[in-house]
Structures are given as structure tokens and as C-alpha cells.
Amino acid sequence: MLGSQRRQLALQLAAALAVLSLAWPYYGLRNEQLPWPETALGIGAVALLFASLTQQAWWWRLIHALFVPLAWAASTFNIDPGWYLLLFIVLLLVYRGAVTGQVPLYLSNAATAAAIAELTKDLPEMRFLDLGAGVGSVLGPLARQRPDAHLSGVENAPATWACGRLRVAGLANCDWRWGDIWQTTLGAYDVVYAFLSPTPMAALWEKAQREMRPGTLFISNSFPVPDVLAERVIEVDDARQTRLFCYRL
Ligand SMILES: C[S@@+](CC[C@H](N)C(=O)[O-])C[C@H]1O[C@@H](n2cnc3c(N)ncnc32)[C@H](O)[C@@H]1O
């Protein structure tokens, strides 16, 4: 089966091919120039049709409908292609996780960090790991509040990692690492925290079950492990109504 991103790419390409394979000969035979605005709108409409027929999520359908028309509109601004390349590189440095594992960057807020501090307050010298630690929104506050604890964070988006590195610099109980979630061994930790996306949760839970010690705690912010009942769900009193799903190994 195709991965989700490749499936979406295939849909766009199929729509572009379908429209261009009709439009090029049609206008070519009439010795007329291809009308790009109409062609771009046509590709968007066909892509929307394909996405609807294959029952893609509503936001994918929106992206399919708008992608080529917006690309055409952007091309009319005559912006130097170097700027697009620069923007692409900056986005990749921050959002690498979204491209490689469908895990974008969004941050835990202070109320969530406080809820985690409360939840773990009875674990002396706790060893805590944030998988995909972002810019240290959980690790920083926890490290300040819990000088007895050992806090570790692993992050693999370069710009995000660098921001977090600066944020936790000087916190002696914080170990800020460059690395991949899937290459990180979980056996040494009392608490493992993840705020990722629905996509990796089943595989991550399998990894946690393989590697974490019995009695230790796995916390997922917002995204429950599919088909596994959480031992406890903490409702954080914040604007986005964060829920922390807690699983005991
Ligand atoms: C939703 S953010 C959460 C950030 C932080 N844990 C927090 O709660 O504020 C998810 C983070 O995981 C990182 N990430 C995604 N896939 C990763 C991977 N395979 N290895 C390491 N980090 C990853 C992303 O770059 C992003 O910073």
C-alpha cells in the first residue's frame, strides 16, 4: 500500500496528467497557447474530484483543489526561485518531523508542563524522557521545578533542536540530545512523554511495551494509543483542553 504522502502526490500527478493530456493536444491542434489560469483551475478541480472519489480527508481535498491554482498564482509574482528554496530549507529545518513521520511541531503549554509536574511529583529522582522534545517546553519547566530529577529530551529537527539546546543550557539536570525517537532506548526511564500525532502511536506503544520497565509510565499528550485503555486521562485546565493519556507498563 502507498504511504499517505505518496498517495497524495500520485493523486495530484494523475490530475495534472489527465488535464494536460487533453489540454495540450486540444490547444496545440488549434495553434493556440495553453491558457494557464484555466488549466490550473482545471487541474485543481480534477484533483478535488479524484480526492473525493478516493475519500481523502476534507483537508487533503482542500489542499488538492488549491495546490496548482495557488502555484500558478505564485508564479505570476515573478519571485526569484531562490526564495522558494530558502523557505523550503527553513521549513525543513523546523518541520522535518512532519515530512519524515507526519509529526509536526506544536508545543506543550505551561499548564501541561505543570500537570506533568503534579502527576510525577511522587517519583523521587525520576528519570524522564520527552520523545520529540521540540524546543523544551516541557523539559525546561520540569528541570527547574525538579532539581532532583534527570530530564532527557530527544529531537531531530535541526532548528527546533538548536532552540531547545539554548533554552535548557545551564540546567544541569537536563540532557538535550540530537536523535531519532525510534533509535532511542526507553528502558532507563521512569516516565516517557510524547506529544506527536495519531500516526506513530500504535508503533510507539509497541516500542514502549518492548523496552520500558514494568510499573513505569507512558504519557501521550492528545493522542491516545489506538485500542488500548489508558489507566488515567488527565484533563488539563487550558484553552485547548489538553488531555494527557497515561499508560502504566
Ligand atoms: C508536537 S511536537 C512536541 C514538542 C514537545 N514535546 C512539546 O511537547 O512541546 C513533536 C516534536 O517531535 C519531533 N519529532 C518528530 N519526529 C521525530 C523523530 N523521529 N525523532 C525525534 N524527534 C522527532 C518534531 O520535530 C517536533 O519537534
Query: Could you tell me the CATH number of the domain that includes residue 165?
Result: 3.40.50.150
Asked which of 78, 96, 122 is the last residue of a domain, the reply is 78
How many domains does the chain fold into?
2
Q: What is the pLDDT of residue 3?
A: 65
Say whether both 133 and 243 belong to one domain: yes
Say whether both 44 and 144 belong to one domain: no
Say whether both 176 and 232 belong to one domain: yes
* Cα 115 to middle of ligand 1, angstroms: 19
Please choose, from the candidates 221, 208, 209, 215, the residue with its C-alpha nearest in 3D space to the C-alpha of residue 190. Answer: 215
Say whether both 115 and 68 belong to one domain: no
Q: Is residue 145 part of a domain?
A: yes
Degrees, nearest 5: CA angle 168-106-189: 55
Say whether both 121 and 244 belong to one domain: yes
Say whether both 235 and 134 belong to one domain: yes
Say whether both 116 and 21 belong to one domain: no
Asked which of 78, 97, 130 is the last residue of a domain, the reply is 78
Quote the domain boundaries for residue 230: 110-248
Say whether both 160 and 230 belong to one domain: yes
* Cα 198 to middle of ligand 1, angstroms: 13
Say whether both 57 and 154 belong to one domain: no
* Cα 123 to middle of ligand 1, angstroms: 25
Say whether both 138 and 65 belong to one domain: no
Q: What is the pLDDT of residue 128?
A: 97
Q: Closest ligand 1 atom to the C-alpha of 101?
A: 16
Q: Is residue 208 part of a domain?
A: yes
Q: Is residue 52 part of a domain?
A: yes
Say whether both 139 and 236 belong to one domain: yes
pLDDT in 10s for each residue of the chain, 249 residues: 456 778 889 999 999 999 999 999 999 899 898 999 999 999 999 999 999 999 988 989 999 999 999 999 998 888 888 888 888 888 887 777 677 667 777 888 999 999 999 999 999 999 999 999 999 999 999 999 999 999 999 998 898 999 999 999 989 999 999 999 999 999 999 999 999 989 899 999 999 999 999 999 999 999 999 999 999 999 998 988 999 999 999
Q: Is residue 101 part of a domain?
A: no
Q: What is the pLDDT of residue 1?
A: 41
Say whether both 168 and 220 belong to one domain: yes
Helix axes 81-101, 158-168, angle to 10 degrees: 80
- Ligand 1 mutation target, pool 152, 154, 155, 218, most atoms within 8 A of CB: 155
- Ligand 1 site residues (CB inside 6 A) read 96-97, 101, 103, 105-108, 130, 132-134, 137-138, 154-157, 160, 180-182, 195-196
DSSP element (H, E) containing 116: helix 110-119
Q: Whose CA is nearest to atom 2 of ligand 1?
A: 105
Q: Is residue 83 part of a domain?
A: no
Query: Which residues touch 131 (CB under 8 Å, ≥6 apart)?
Result: 154, 181, 184, 192, 193, 194, 196, 204
Q: Is residue 144 part of a domain?
A: yes
Q: Is residue 215 part of a domain?
A: yes
Q: Whose CA is nearest to atom 24 of ligand 1?
A: 97
Q: Whose CA is nearest to atom 8 of ligand 1?
A: 108
* Cα 181 to middle of ligand 1, angstroms: 8
Q: Is residue 95 part of a domain?
A: no
Asked which of 37, 54, 78 is the last residue of a domain, the reply is 78
Q: Whose CA is nearest to atom 12 of ligand 1?
A: 132
> Is the alpha carbon torsion for 108, 133, 230, 144 positive or negative?
negative
Degrees, nearest 5: CA angle 246-143-221: 25
